């Protein structure tokens, strides 16, 4: 039997994280944010002063890493809590840069597959429906207009006390979209059997309702 996986992919700022967490709660599944893993690799690479284009050094770094999901969405890497560091704006940039390196992806993808809990998982990222779980029974691709995604990211960062220049944020998001979707290895794109949801004008509740309807239908889960 294929594992109970709901794959959620899409560009930065499309609302994947908040909606995936809420969906996992409704379904009683675990939630795995694979972006957090790429962010952790980026943060550690910077901390160690690595050249982000140096595959050998990146290979040594990721080869020795172990990831653990702690209570309340905490991410422990080698026992160290990186939850706060990976949420800084720069971590997203670093993540997007290390994520183009096959040496990083080939290490993280099997770890992600290993996180498919028997009780079901909502896993979000860029390549979950295309590469990590191509046989996932339920695949969603969340997207939104670039200006709206930039606005959401700005709100998120301001809530964390970071100063935000919205125009610069929009430019960076466009650059990240380009890098994520044009890379040779596992580019961001909807799987052929994914349901594409444009969340530009939708409230979170409506997005999660629609995701739940699709996930329950595809996984043949009854409503509680």
Binding residues for ligand DC, total number by CB under 6 A: 14
Of the candidate spans 33-41, 44-52, 114-122, 196-204, the one that interacts with ligand DC by CB under 6 A turns out to be 33-41
Q: Which residue from 14, 5, 6 is spatially nearest to 181, judged by alpha carbons?
A: 14
Out of 5, 6, 7, 12, the only residue in the binding site for ligand DC (CB under 6 A) is: 12
Q: Is 38 in the site for ligand DC (CB under 6 A)?
A: yes
Instruction: In angstroms, give the least distance from the CB of 27 to ligand DC.
Output: 20
* Cβ proximity to ligand DC, 74 vs 213, nearer residue: 74
111-114: long-range contacts (C-beta < 8 A, 24 or more apart)? 111/37, 111/67, 112/32, 112/34, 112/37
**Which residues neighbour 20 within 8 Å (Cβ) at sequence distance 6 or greater?**
8, 31, 33, 122, 123, 124
* Residues between 62 and 121 with contacts to ligand DC, criterion CB under 6 A: 92, 95-96, 99
Of the candidate spans 19-27, 31-39, 134-142, 162-170, the one that interacts with ligand DC by CB under 6 A turns out to be 31-39
Out of 176, 191, 197, 207, the only residue in the binding site for ligand DC (CB under 6 A) is: 176
For the stretch 168-207, what's the b/e string if a residue is b when 16 or more beta carbons lie within 10 angstroms of its beta carbon? ebbebbeebbebbeebeebebebbeebbebebeebeeeeb
* Residues between 182 and 221 with contacts to ligand DC, criterion CB under 6 A: none
Residues interacting with ligand DC, by CB under 6 A? 12, 34-35, 38-39, 92, 95-96, 99, 125-127, 176, 180
């Amino acid at each position: 039997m294929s594992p109970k996986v709901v794959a959620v992919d899409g560009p930065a700022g499309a609302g994947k994280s908040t909606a995936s967490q809420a969906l996992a709660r409704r379904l009683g599944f675990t939630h795995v944010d694979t972006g957090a893993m790429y962010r952790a690799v980026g943060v550690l690479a910077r901390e160690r002063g690595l050249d982000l284009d140096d595959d050998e050094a990146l290979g040594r770094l990721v080869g020795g890493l172990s990831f653990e999901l702690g209570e309340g969405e905490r991410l422990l890497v080698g026992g160290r809590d990186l939850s706060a560091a990976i949420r800084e704006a720069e971590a997203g940039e670093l993540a997007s840069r290390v994520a183009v390196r096959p040496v990083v992806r080939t290490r993280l993808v099997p770890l992600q597959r290993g996180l498919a809990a028997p009780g079901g998982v909502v896993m979000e990222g860029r390549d979950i429906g295309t590469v990590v779980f191509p046989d996932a029974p339920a695949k969603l691709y969340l997207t939104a207009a670039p200006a709206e995604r930039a606005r959401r990211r700005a709100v998120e960062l301001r809530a964390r006390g970071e100063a935000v220049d919205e125009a610069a944020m929009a430019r960076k998001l466009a650059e990240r979209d380009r890098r994520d979707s044009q890379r040779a290895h596992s580019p961001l794109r909807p799987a052929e059997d994914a349901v594409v949801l444009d969340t530009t004008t939708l409230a979170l509740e409506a997005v999660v309702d629609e995701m739940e309807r699709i996930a329950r239908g595809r996984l043949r889960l009854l409503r509680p």
